[in-house]
Structure 1
Amino acid sequence: MRYYMKSKFFKLKEDFWIKNDQKEKVYFVDNKFLTMGLQFDISKGNEILYYVKEKLLTFMSKYEIFEQDKVIAKVKQKVTIFREKIEVESKYGNLEIVGSIFDYNYRIYQNKKEIAHVAKEIFSFTDNYYIDINFEDEAFILCLVVIVDNIIDKNNSAS
């Protein structure tokens, strides 16, 4: 399934929709306004599916994904010499996010199998990008994409 999202939402911590390929609003990202670090819920309909919280005071970016009150994933940005990489320990096993992350062109792998691809739209005047997902829990993958967007935004703000 293909979804569409705009980048750089976190400067004002605004809420936004993730749309499907028919441009219908499917998932709602509710950013928590007066918080330290990134915190958001992702919901579909009236049901909150996941809650994400950034861990502060760490050298590299770290996040936790909650399902109800239980941590179901830990996301860690890794320093590598040759490529950009983010590791995910989750209820689905270990996942890897690799590619040109800061250019919005990366892939998410589970056991070396590609389960999602994120790329910037070529002929877009704004920072739109699409997410192709081949995984049973699309909302979980979209949480990861929103986290990566936050990492990109923090990196761009620092430079």
Structure 2
Amino acid sequence: MKYLVRDKIFALGDDYWIEDEQGRQAFLVDGKALRLRDTLELKDPSGRVLITLRKKLLSLRDTMTVERGDTPLATIRRKRLSLLRNHYRVTLAEGTELDVSGRILDREFVVEYEGELLAHISKKWFRVRETYAVDVVREDADTALMIAVAVCVIRMAERERGGDDD
């Protein structure tokens, strides 16, 4: 299923809706202003927090954590050696690793597990400027996690490029 994201400059305090293919509000990305560290919450339409994304304070490389409730779900960090494309590694709490690769800043990348496609993020499906889709390919994939990973790696890539120096 595809989810439509209207891209913004990700700044603390920005809130925006992610819609499903029928144009219904599916998720709210709620940027938390006035926090010590960069924090985003992914909420359902009723306002219930599904996932919290936080920038790790003390880390050699830019790292964000993903939590469901008070339980750590994953850690996302850029791979050290990636020459031509952006590569990020998502390490789930139980040790499983997901690979995120492609042109992150161009909004053209994939999320894979052991070479199997879980989600495809792309602008090419839309003619509207600054809009991209998160296509969750596998039915058994955690949709909220796939959207959180997409939002997170884009935020990290923007910050690395110098667009957000929290």
Deviates more, 1:31-40 or 1:132-141: 31-40
SS at match of 1:8: coil
Give the equivalent residue in structure 1 for 2:51: 50
- Corresponding residue to 1:117 among 116, 120, 128: 120
More strand by share: 1
Runs of 4+ in 1 over 6 A off after TM superposition: none
Maintained 8 Å contact 1:8/1:150: no
Q: Does 1:157 align with 2:163?
A: yes
Q: CA deviation at 1:131?
A: 0.9
Deviates more, 1:3-12 or 1:47-56: 3-12
What is the number of equivalent residue pairs in this alignment? 157
After TM superposition, the score normalised by the length of structure 2 is 0.85
Long gaps (5+) in structure 1: none
Long gaps (5+) in structure 2: none
Q: Does 1:18 align with 2:18?
A: yes
Task: State the distance in 2 between where 1:7 and 1:149 align.
Answer: 10
SS at match of 2:77: strand
Change (3 A) 1:83 1:139: same
Task: State the distance in 2 between where 1:55 and 1:18 align.
Answer: 25
Deviates more, 1:126-135 or 1:6-15: 6-15
Give the equivalent residue in structure 1 for 2:68: 67
